[in-house]
């Protein structure tokens, strides 16, 4: 069994301040420092997956202080992040096949646009819409953790947790959307 923290659309920049100061400056809608929320909510995870729009690559270094990180590039990421990160990624964890992508375009019909990007996956993790989403369609589990910092198109800020358990055939993937405000 593996516990995975899932995050997307953090949109964090340091704008001339130290990285640590920038990391601690970003607040959730509930006025909690994002750094503290992540340390609390992702404590004990085996892996963190960032589904894009981190904006600057150093954000991954901050997340790596909590747990190992896998990430894809999003449409708002800077040139360094876009050069370093793939647009989509396949991972296999506990025998469960995950497709990871940011997504793009209108938030409407996102599932229809990202599904053809992967084959043979059990789940597709995505971002871009800022709206949390967890639903199984045609045998594929789709999961968007929402955004912890930007509520565009979303009713609240959020993060996600996944429990992957290949030994449980009835529920190989369990999800939790963590509402932050």
The domain that holds 48 is classified in CATH as 3.60.21.10
Q: Residue 58: which H helix or E strand, with range? A: helix 58-64
pLDDT recorded at residue 159: 95
Domain total for the chain? 1
Q: Please, are residues 86 and 70 in contact by the beta-carbon 8 Å criterion?
A: no
Residue 82 to residue 34: CA distance in whole angstroms: 23
Q: Please, are residues 100 and 89 in contact by the beta-carbon 8 Å criterion?
A: yes
In terms of Cβ atoms closer than 10 Å to its own Cβ (0-12, 13-18, 19+), residue 160 is buried
Provide the residue range defining the domain that includes 76: 2-179
pLDDT digits 0-9 by tens, 9-22:
998 887 777 777 77
Q: Please, are residues 150 and 130 in contact by the beta-carbon 8 Å criterion?
A: yes
Residue 178 to residue 111: CA distance in whole angstroms: 21
The β-bridge relationship of strands 69-71 and 47-50 is parallel
Residues of the chain above pLDDT 70, percent: 94
- pTM comes to 0.94
pLDDT digits 0-9 by tens, 61-102:
999 999 999 999 999 998 899 999 999 999 999 899 999 999
pLDDT digits 0-9 by tens, 129-158:
999 999 999 999 999 999 998 877 788 889
Residue range 17-35: average pLDDT? 70
């Amino acid at each position: 069994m593996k516990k995975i923290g899932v995050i997307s659309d953090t949109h964090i920049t340091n704008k001339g301040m130290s990285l640590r100061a920038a990391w601690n400056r970003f607040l959730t809608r509930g006025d909690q420092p994002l750094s503290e929320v992540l340390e609390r909510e992702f404590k004990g995870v085996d892996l963190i997956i960032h589904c894009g729009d981190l904006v600057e690559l150093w954000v991954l270094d901050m997340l790596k202080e909590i747990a190992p990180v896998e990430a894809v590039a999003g449409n708002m990421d800077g040139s360094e992040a876009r050069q370093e990160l793939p647009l989509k990624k396949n991972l296999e964890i506990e025998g469960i096949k995950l497709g990871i992508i940011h997504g793009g375009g209108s938030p409407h019909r996102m599932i229809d646009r990202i599904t053809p990007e992967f084959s043979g996956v059990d789940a597709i993790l995505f971002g871009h819409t800022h709206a949390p989403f967890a639903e199984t369609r045609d045998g594929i589990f789709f999961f968007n953790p929402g955004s912890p910092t930007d509520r565009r198109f979303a009713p609240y800020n959020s993060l996600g947790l996944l429990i992957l358990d290949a030994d449980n055939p009835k529920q190989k993937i369990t999800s939790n959307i963590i509402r932050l405000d």
